Amino acid sequence: MTNDRRQEDFAQRLSRISRERGETTDPDQGRAKRDITDFDYNAPRERHPIRNGLIWIIILGALGAGGYYGWNAMPQDLKDTLTSIVAPDDSMETALATPEAIPETETMSDQGPTLQSPAVVHDGDTPVMLDNIVAQVSLPDDSTAIGDIIPIIRNAQCNLRTPLGSEKVMGVRIENALLPAPLYTFSNQQLAEQLLLNVEAVTQNGADLVNDMDLSGEKTVLDVFVTDTSAPLYLVLQNMGPGIIWNLHAAPDVQIAHVALIGSDFSGAANLQPDTTIEGLLVGDFLPPHQYGADDTPRDCMIRPWRSPQPDWIGSRKSEAGSLLYQNQMYSYTKGYEAYNRWFTGALGVGAAANTVTARDAAHVLLGPVPTEPFTYNGLAGSDIHLMETDHLLIGDSASRHAAAERLHQDLLTAAIGGDFSALNPPAMERDSQ
């Protein structure tokens, strides 16, 4: 900076002289207007399109790269919030969906539909509720008093009765039933496996045994409403989760000729018709516990009842969105189903999908059309239960059954430890105490 104002003083003098002479024109008139700045003392401003272009490219590039990495580093919930603000419509949301942004819903899980009571799972798209099917409903609870237990001798040859030509094979294939069952049943092997988990929780993870001890043996109930009157029925009731008491409800004129149970746990059936025959296959009698890839290859007696992944499963959608975890899981389901279907077709003469209703979790299932008039619900109270035979069966009200199971677990655990529970976590040893 400078305080030299001589140029301005000279300009003012010229201006005053011009006014005194009566001249009013601008001394610069007629000359090309120059582009000047206050900082260059009237030097002409030069344009630098290449330089300025490079600067803007660098700035925009930096902003773009920063934005990209910043967006990727942002927490998913914040991204979802921002996305929903900027693009609230569903189509845009779907287009931007990542596997993490596809949540399970109340009725659709990673592994298929999950329908709580009173919704009824059936082979159709229209929602069906319990009161569309049956009347005088009395759902079971975990203290319902049941009738006698009739043992089912497990099929040891993996050779289910072949359906007759006059019979129609129908099936249900699920993972978990959602109604409580008033009994516990479990084998010594299951008891040992559960207690081993309890012990290892203490000896390997430092858990508190007494407070954390889980019990084995709980079962569930599924209502199966049968309305198909087209032929005598051969029902194949299949599940992969904890054992199920399949409570049958045959509509008028329905004839259930045979029931085949296939499951990973000890299951049973209630409210059979007088002439209905029943048999059971336990997966563990023929297959080892499942490990990833173990069921990919078709083989004899591959009876683990896999369900075929459907496009609307959340797991399928996550797989489509690029999740490697779900791609592996859906691949495992697909290959497992293919192997199971091969065994099923060979054993029963129809495919595993024929006349079969599937879901992951359900409380009620309908086989056949929705009846024109609701028919009477078969309560579990007082009904005899045909049950796969095993080492331990506990019935009675919920509290006494739980107490008996806990006593059984603790007695065995005490015997296994060979002393007090504290022996699982012995005190530390100090040098001074030697």
Partner 1 sequence: MIGGRTSFVIFLLILGLPVVVLNYGGLNVGGWISEQTAQYIPEAPDPAVPEAEIAVADPFQWLNDRPALRDTFIPNEMTGARYVQVEKILNPEELLLAGEQAPDAAFLELYAAARAPAQLIPYCSEVVATIGTSCDLVYSQARENREGKWVMDGRLAYVPAVDLGDPSSVENGQLINARATLPYSGDLRPPNDTETRAAMLTQAQAVCDTLRDQLGNCVLTRVSFDVHELWITDLEALPAGTNPQRVEASAEYTVYADPMQLDANGLATLVSEIVNPE
3 state DSSP class of 51: helix
Per-residue HEC secondary structure of 242-289 comes to CCEEEEEEECCCCCEEEEEEEECCCCEEECCCCCCEEEEEEHHHCCCC
Residues 293-352 binding partner 1 (CB under 8 A) are: none
Mark the segment that binds partner 1 (CB under 8 A) among 13-21, 45-53, 79-87, 273-281: 45-53
- Amino acid, res. 126: T
List 30, 44, 206, 288, residue binding partner 1 (CB under 8 A): 206
Instruction: Give 74 or 416: the residue with its C-beta nearer to partner 1.
Output: 416
Nearer to partner 1, 204 or 291 (CB): 204
Per CB under 8 A, 201 contacts partner 1: no
Q: Please name which of 116, 134, 135, 113 lies closest in space to residue 124, comparing C-alpha atoms.
A: 113
Task: Please list, residue by residue across 393-408, b when 16 or more beta carbons sit within 10 angstroms of its beta carbon and e when fewer do.
Answer: ebbbeeeebbeebeeb
Residue 365 φ then ψ, to 5°: -130, 140
Based on CB atoms, which residue is closest to partner 1, 158 or 413?
Answer: 413
Tokens at residue 184, please? 């516990």
Q: Is 418 in the site for partner 1 (CB under 8 A)?
A: yes
Stretch 47-66: interaction string toward partner 1, x if CB under 8 A: -x--x--xx--x---x----
> What DSSP line would sit under 311-345, residue for residue?
TTSHHHHHHHTT-HHHHHHHHHHHHHHHHHHHHHH
Q: Within 10 A of 255 (CB to CB), how many other CB atoms are there?
A: 15
Q: Which is nearer to partner 1, 143 or 189 (CB)?
A: 189
Residue 46 or 90: the one with the smaller Cβ distance to partner 1 is 46
Cβ closest to partner 1, residue 55 vs residue 156: 55
Q: Min. distance of Cβ 42 from partner 1 in angstroms? A: 15
Asked if 37 is part of the footprint of partner 1 (rule: CB under 8 A), the reply reads: no
Which range touches partner 1 (CB under 8 A), out of 10-18, 248-256, 306-314, 409-417?
A: 409-417
Contact indicator for 310, 331 with CB cutoff of 8 Å:
no
Q: What is the DSSP letter of 44?
A: B
- Which pair of tokens denotes residue 226? 């049968």
- Contact between 195 and partner 1 by CB under 8 A: the answer reads yes
CB closer to partner 1, 192 vs 324: 192
In the list 30, 288, 311, 419, the residue contacting partner 1 (rule: CB under 8 A) is 419
Total site size for partner 1, rule CB under 8 A:
36
Query: What's the min distance (Å) between Cβ of 218 and partner 1?
Result: 20
Position among 3, 24, 204, 291 found at the interface with partner 1 (CB under 8 A): 204
Residue 159 or 422 with smaller CB distance to partner 1:
422
Q: Give the nearer residue to partner 1 in terms of CB position, either 23 or 40.
A: 40
Tokens at 222, concatenated:
């599924």
Q: Cβ atoms within 10 A of the Cβ of 269, count?
A: 27
Beta strand pairing status for 233-239 and 179-186?
unpaired
Interface residue with partner 1 among 46, 125, 253, 300 (CB under 8 A) is: 46
Closest of 147, 148, 151 to residue 388, by C-alpha: 151
Establish if 413 lies at the interface with partner 1 (CB under 8 A).
yes
3-class state of residue 415 by DSSP: helix
Query: Residue 68: exposed, middle, or buried by beta-carbon count in 10 A (0-12, 13-18, 19+)?
Result: exposed
Rounded Cα distance between 171 and 355, Å, is 6
Smallest gap, in angstroms, from Cβ of residue 196 to partner 1?
5
Applying the rule CB under 8 A, the residues between 133 and 192 that interact with partner 1 are 187-189, 191-192
Q: Does 262 bind partner 1 (CB under 8 A)?
A: no
Stretch that binds partner 1, among 109-117, 229-237, 253-261, 423-431 (CB under 8 A): 423-431
Contact residues: partner 1, CB under 8 A? 46, 48, 51, 54-55, 58, 62, 187-189, 191-192, 195-196, 199-200, 203-204, 206, 412-413, 415-419, 423-431, 434
